[in-house]
A and B are shown apart, each in its own frame.
Chain A
Amino acid sequence: MVRWIPGNGEEEKALLDALGLSSVEELFRDIPPSARMKRMGLGAPLEERQVVEHVDRLLEKNQTQGSLDSFLGCGLYDRYTPAVVDGILQRSEFYTSYTPYQPEASQGVLQTLFEFQSLWVELSDMDVANASLYDGATAMGEAMLMARRLAPGHRFLVPSTLFWERRSVLENYAPRKDMEFVEVPCDPRTGRLDLGFLEREAKHDCFGVLFEYPDTLGTLQVDLPKVKGAIKDVPLIVSADPLALTLLEPPGAWGADIVVGEGQGFGVPVSYGGPLLGLISTRKEHVRMLPGRIAGATVDHEGRRAFTLTLQAREQHIRRSRATSNICTNQTLVSLAFLAYACAVGPSGLTRLASRLSEEGHRLAKALKEVPGLRAPLVDAPFLWEFPVGVEGLSIPEFLDGMYDEGVLAGVPLQDPRPGAKGHPHPGFLTSAGERTDAKSVERYARAARKVLSAPKKEGSP
């Protein structure tokens, strides 16, 4: 049995004696008998060694990306994290501490939050950031609700290419019947957004516009810097990839009102999809509309610099039903990973990494273009390390299954998998060059694709 409860059973006796009780059951006498539970029906306790063996047996049944050639991305990226980052995260004062509600005892966490906010401010070129949200998708949802507080109107404009998961999360963050989604179309060939449509629609009852940078398809929309001019006072939300922002002009420089993002790619393992990191920043005049915690600098009673959570009057524990959000627990430790990763790799290292990934992405696209039956990239637009691919002759799932049999995780289907769901305007899958992509893995990808596409069709297939 693990020793996570102190005293080996003897302490309970001493505590009961002090309370003048003979059995611990007496402490549960206020639970009505008919609500009492006899057994939960769980297994017997295990020693730590047994738990490790058991968990390792389970984990052995999973194939890791490292054991395959993985080209999966779609917002969640396999990147190398310098060992020093995990050393920092494993400082128990960081990972076992609580929310820094007592600032004097929590200067360490508070200063890292302040620095994390500062980093997202620099990357996005905005004025203020919060101390994190759950993930990139929920950050979009919170940004949408924030835009609703900033502007009148009932309609929210989103790109027609938006990944279905993010769209579904957005719909769940729009509970009010008076919020309506309008899709901004884009050119099927070039993926380019329709600026004229945007300009017309933004004038009518619209409280916000959302764009991705790069977008779901990996595309760099060259017209994005013109969007704010087209939509005028309507709040512009941009969801940006933090690594791409080391190469791209940040949204703050071209008029974004709120910038969100998924921070997982900075020092956080993909871990089957979580924990992740929601980023959000905005302009100073909107700071009181931000959701979640914010760390600020101040002084202590002797004038020493000190940090504390601030503007708490926006938050649920003070404002209750009138809070800007319900969020309480956020992703503090993950924000520390983001910050420590950026420091460990350094600004020039980050730019080099982004540049190298872009180079690998273009090498991959070039190789796949040569494969008969693949349309790569599916849209003719500038991109970095990620782009959509179309397949002729096989369905997307058939192709991806075939590729997996060849040891290649080729990509993420763009189609919403829910029965009866609307089709994606670009029927294909998203493929992504990662840090482990190189000339050899690209060659293996192209070779496997040729094999899968030339294999005789299974019986019954058209």
Chain B
Amino acid sequence: MTFRQARWEEPLLWEIRPPADGGVDPAQAPEVPPELRRRKALRLPELSELEVARHFTRLSQMNFGIETSFYPLGSCTMKYNPRVSEVLARRAGVADVHPYQPESSTQGLLAMLWEMEQALGKITGLPHTTLQVAAGAHGEYVALRMTAAYHRDRGDTKRTEVLLPDTAHGTNPASAAMAGFTTREIPSKNGCVDLRALEGALSENTAAFMLTNPNTAGLFEEQILEISDRVHSAGAILYYDGANLNAILGKTGPGKMGFDVAHLNLHKTFATPHGGGGPGDGALCVGERLKDYLPVPRIVKEGRKFHISYDFPRSIGKVKTAYGNVGLVLRAYVFLRAHGEEGLRRVSERAVLNSNYLGMRLGEHLPRPFKPLVKHEFVLSGAPLKARGVRTLDLAKRLLDEGVHAPTVYFPTLVEESLMIEPPETESKRDLDEFVAAFLRALNDTPERLHASPMNLAVGRVDEVRAARDLILSWRDMEKAAPGAGRSHATAASPPGVASAAPSDIPNPSVGAK
């Protein structure tokens, strides 16, 4: 496949035209006390609308998206984001509604939020839901705050440790530490939790065990009921990381598996767009043990009316402004209603089918460290490439040249040179077969070409070491590093550091930094 990404030498906004270097007109806002008045005007160029549109359109042409490229990133569930959701989320009936309006003026939105909470309760088997959380990691954090409150209310103050498998997403230990817990990793056996090791680690100090199922190796933790039993016998909370929910809709649910609490990533399973890294949208579903601790407000239905209630004395309070990412909940709601029971079941069936098919095809060429029956994703090891002096990273970069996004690489860490691949339900068999062909072209390419890739993108291999060493994090830094850049439109055509300039043209910014 011949693929070429646009290669604009697009200047920074500040290089398109230099910003005015003046002060703020004192006639503006005479109400501001003199000691607080801004002395120098905001340094941002005055651009025409076309200049703005062209700048960002060109930048967009130097980026992959779902509508341009297959994105087999493991644990990210990069599925098609329905356009109709984008249309509906822009309706004034949601976009122009303020969260502090009276509840009688927002009954339609409250009905939608309430219905979404009920539906997620049914999907997870954990009937009490908050939509206030912003993203997956935020949900983890909120759940752990609730867990702490639960143990504290029971006088169980020794529970200071959170256990998690060594395959856990990085957010799990980070959330636990931020919530004031210590963490301990439980080793895996054949890619799944080692039940013995878990039993050995559980104690009266265990606050919670965090697990995703299917796990990050794409494997279903078959001993989940035993795990649940052991965790509960030890008096701890069993936490479900819902990043991988796309594999099990209608087949099982966290509640059925014995979990006490689950966060969901609506930007994965429910197709709200990833936005280049966010906004995400989270939900937190809990069972009886934790329900009193959910954040306020909660939506309460009385007859046909919906109320915003703050009357939950054990609630941990607020975790975010207002009620959550409602504009995104609406998108997820569209996905839910369009698919319905039957469609959501098909979502998981097709995602798992795609994953097993692709796993089988690619497993003929690179080792699969675990059993072949997987759920929504699978892991390969790029270790054999090392004999040719090639690494998984090279393979990933070479795949970009084929116009497909690279898989998740070097995670999970327990597999050497790992690649984690997730082909969601919205990819066709033809897409998968084309990916196999692209993968094989990449795999069989020469080491020289693999090392030199990508060659077809806006830039070649990016020097990340230099980025971390010589910090240039804003236009201010860049100005200091390369004085004169952006001073006139003429220089913007080839400012230092752009085009064919040598690396040495960008001096160490720390010289000029404060």
Indicate which residue in B69, B459, B513 contacts A107 across the interface (CB closer than 8 Å). B459
- Shortest distance between the CB of A243 and any CB in chain B (Å): 11
Q: Which residues of chain B are near A355, meaning CB under 8 Å?
A: 28-29
Give residues 340-397 of A contacting B (CB, 8 Å): 340, 342-344, 346-348, 350-352, 354-355, 358-359, 362, 382-384
Q: Which residues of chain B are near A294, meaning CB under 8 Å?
A: 473
Would you call A333 and B275 a contact (CB within 8 A)?
yes
* Interface residue? A460 (CB, 8 A): no
Give residues 112-140 of A contacting B (CB, 8 Å): 112-115, 117-119, 121-123, 127-129, 131-132, 134-138
Q: Which residues of chain B are near A99, meaning CB under 8 Å?
A: 274, 276-278
Q: Which of B323-331, B379-387, B437-445 lines the interface with chain A? A: B323-331
Chain A, interface size: which category? 35 or more
- Shortest distance between the CB of A74 and any CB in chain B (Å): 6
A298 to B39 alpha-carbon distance, docked (Å): 32
Would you call B35 and A222 a contact (CB within 8 A)?
yes
Q: Which residues of chain B are near A19, meaning CB under 8 Å?
A: 353, 356-357, 360
* Interface residue? A229 (CB, 8 A): no
Q: Label chain B's interface by main secondary structure.
A: loop
- Shortest distance between the CB of A241 and any CB in chain B (Å): 13
Would you call B327 and A304 a contact (CB within 8 A)?
no
* Interface residue? B373 (CB, 8 A): yes
Would you call A61 and B111 a contact (CB within 8 A)?
yes
Q: Which residues of chain A are near B468, meaning CB under 8 Å?
A: 296, 310-313
Q: Which residues of chain B are near A48, meaning CB under 8 Å?
A: 84, 338
* With A118-B12, A248-B37, A355-B29 as contacts: A299 and B503 at CB distance below 8 Å: yes
A79 to B315 alpha-carbon distance, docked (Å): 33
Would you call A97 and B63 a contact (CB within 8 A)?
yes
* With A93-B68, A298-B462 as contacts: A249 and B39 at CB distance below 8 Å: yes
- Shortest distance between the CB of B107 and any CB in chain A (Å): 5
A155 to B457 alpha-carbon distance, docked (Å): 51
Would you call A172 and B318 a contact (CB within 8 A)?
yes
A130 to B215 alpha-carbon distance, docked (Å): 31
Would you call A321 and B174 a contact (CB within 8 A)?
yes
Would you call A42 and B341 a contact (CB within 8 A)?
yes
Q: Which residues of chain B are near A404, meaning CB under 8 Å?
A: 102, 104-105
- Shortest distance between the CB of A341 and any CB in chain B (Å): 10
* With A62-B109, A96-B66, A270-B96 as contacts: A31 and B252 at CB distance below 8 Å: yes
Would you call A298 and B340 a contact (CB within 8 A)?
no
Q: Which residue of B lies closest to A273 (CB)?
A: B322
* Interface residue? A58 (CB, 8 A): yes
Q: Which residues of chain B are near A160, meaning CB under 8 Å?
A: none
Would you call B462 and A135 a contact (CB within 8 A)?
no
* Interface residue? A418 (CB, 8 A): yes
- Mark each residue of chain B from 451 to 473: 1 if its CB lies under 8 Å from any CB of chain A, else 0: 00010011111111011101111
- Shortest distance between the CB of B419 and any CB in chain A (Å): 13
Would you call A331 and B278 a contact (CB within 8 A)?
yes
* Interface residue? B158 (CB, 8 A): no
Q: Which residues of chain B are near A57, meaning CB under 8 Å?
A: 108
A63 to B103 alpha-carbon distance, docked (Å): 10
A310 to B330 alpha-carbon distance, docked (Å): 33
Q: Which residue of A lies closest to B49 (CB)?
A: A84
Would you call B475 and A118 a contact (CB within 8 A)?
yes
Would you call B373 and A30 a contact (CB within 8 A)?
yes
Would you call A109 and B349 a contact (CB within 8 A)?
no
Q: Which residue of B lies closest to A112 (CB)?
A: B59
* With A61-B111, A326-B141 as contacts: A24 and B100 at CB distance below 8 Å: no
Indicate which residue in A11, A104, A118 contacts B460 across the interface (CB closer than 8 Å). A104
Q: Which residues of chain A are near B81, meaning CB under 8 Å?
A: 95-96
Q: Which of B13-21, B231-239, B284-292 lines the interface with chain A? A: B13-21
Would you call A175 and B148 a contact (CB within 8 A)?
yes
Would you call B176 and A321 a contact (CB within 8 A)?
yes
Would you call A321 and B66 a contact (CB within 8 A)?
no
Would you call B183 and A351 a contact (CB within 8 A)?
no
Would you call A419 and B405 a contact (CB within 8 A)?
no
Give residues 37-53 of A contacting B (CB, 8 Å): 37, 39-48, 51-52
Give residues 16-46 of B contacting A (CB, 8 Å): 19-20, 24-25, 28-29, 31-33, 35-39, 41-46
- Mark each residue of chain B from 149 to 192: 1 if its CB lies under 8 Å from any CB of chain A, else 0: 00000000000000000000111011111111011000000000
* Interface residue? B447 (CB, 8 A): no
- Shortest distance between the CB of B325 and any CB in chain A (Å): 4
A316 to B42 alpha-carbon distance, docked (Å): 34
* Interface residue? B264 (CB, 8 A): no
- Mark each residue of chain A from 1 to 44: 1 if its CB lies under 8 Å from any CB of chain B, else 0: 11011110001101110110000100111111011110111111
A282 to B315 alpha-carbon distance, docked (Å): 33
- Shortest distance between the CB of B9 and any CB in chain A (Å): 8
A357 to B148 alpha-carbon distance, docked (Å): 44
Q: Which residues of chain B are near A188, meaning CB under 8 Å?
A: none
A319 to B125 alpha-carbon distance, docked (Å): 33
- Shortest distance between the CB of A402 and any CB in chain B (Å): 11
A433 to B190 alpha-carbon distance, docked (Å): 62
Q: Which residues of chain A are near B474, meaning CB under 8 Å?
A: 114, 117-118, 121, 127-129
Q: Which residues of chain B are near A112, meaning CB under 8 Å?
A: 56, 59, 276
Q: Which residue of A lies closest to B324 (CB)?
A: A274
* With A225-B35, A273-B323 as contacts: A301 and B461 at CB distance below 8 Å: yes
Would you call B497 and A299 a contact (CB within 8 A)?
yes
Q: Which of A64-72, A202-210, A449-457 lines the interface with chain B? A: A64-72
* With A107-B63, A301-B461, A304-B459 as contacts: A32 and B225 at CB distance below 8 Å: yes
Q: Which residue of B lies closest to A40 (CB)?
A: B122
* Interface residue? A461 (CB, 8 A): no
A58 to B54 alpha-carbon distance, docked (Å): 37
* Interface residue? B301 (CB, 8 A): no
- Shortest distance between the CB of B161 and any CB in chain A (Å): 11
Give residues 242-297 of B contacting A (CB, 8 Å): 248-253, 256-258, 265, 267, 271, 273-281, 296-297
Q: Which residues of chain A are near B95, meaning CB under 8 Å?
A: 269-271
* With A41-B341, A172-B316, A273-B321 as contacts: A132 and B278 at CB distance below 8 Å: yes
* Interface residue? B491 (CB, 8 A): no
A245 to B100 alpha-carbon distance, docked (Å): 24
- Shortest distance between the CB of B286 and any CB in chain A (Å): 16
Would you call A272 and B52 a contact (CB within 8 A)?
no
Indicate which residue in B182, B281, B324 contacts A273 across the interface (CB closer than 8 Å). B324
* With A358-B31, A404-B105 as contacts: A59 and B175 at CB distance below 8 Å: no
Would you call B322 and A84 a contact (CB within 8 A)?
no
Give residues 290-327 of A contacting B (CB, 8 Å): 293-308, 310-313, 315-323, 325-327
- Mark each residue of chain B from 116 to 136: 1 if its CB lies under 8 Å from any CB of chain A, else 0: 000100110100000000111
Would you call B426 and A6 a contact (CB within 8 A)?
yes
* Interface residue? A236 (CB, 8 A): no
* Interface residue? A247 (CB, 8 A): yes
Would you call A303 and B505 a contact (CB within 8 A)?
yes
A61 to B460 alpha-carbon distance, docked (Å): 52
- Shortest distance between the CB of A218 and any CB in chain B (Å): 11
Q: Which residues of chain B are near A185, meaning CB under 8 Å?
A: none
Give residues 332-361 of B contacting A (CB, 8 Å): 333-334, 336-347, 349-350, 352-354, 356-357, 360
Q: Which residue of B lies closest to A171 (CB)?
A: B317
Indicate which residue in B111, B278, B319, B396 contacts A172 across the interface (CB closer than 8 Å). B319
* Interface residue? A459 (CB, 8 A): no
Would you call A343 and B13 a contact (CB within 8 A)?
yes
* With A70-B98, A78-B98, A298-B467 as contacts: A27 and B478 at CB distance below 8 Å: no
Q: Give 8 nearest A-B pairs by CB, closest first.
A: A273-B322, A59-B93, A333-B275, A61-B108, A108-B63, A273-B99, A329-B280, A316-B174
Supply 14 A–B pairs (Cβ within 8 Å), ascending by A: A2-B339, A37-B251, A62-B97, A88-B53, A99-B276, A103-B462, A117-B474, A127-B476, A175-B148, A273-B322, A296-B472, A303-B505, A328-B136, A330-B279
Q: Give 16 A-B pairs besides A107-B62, A301-B461, A382-B31 with Cβ atoms closer than 8 angstroms.
A: A19-B356, A31-B248, A40-B123, A40-B250, A47-B338, A62-B97, A98-B73, A103-B462, A121-B476, A127-B477, A175-B145, A271-B327, A329-B135, A333-B278, A336-B56, A354-B29
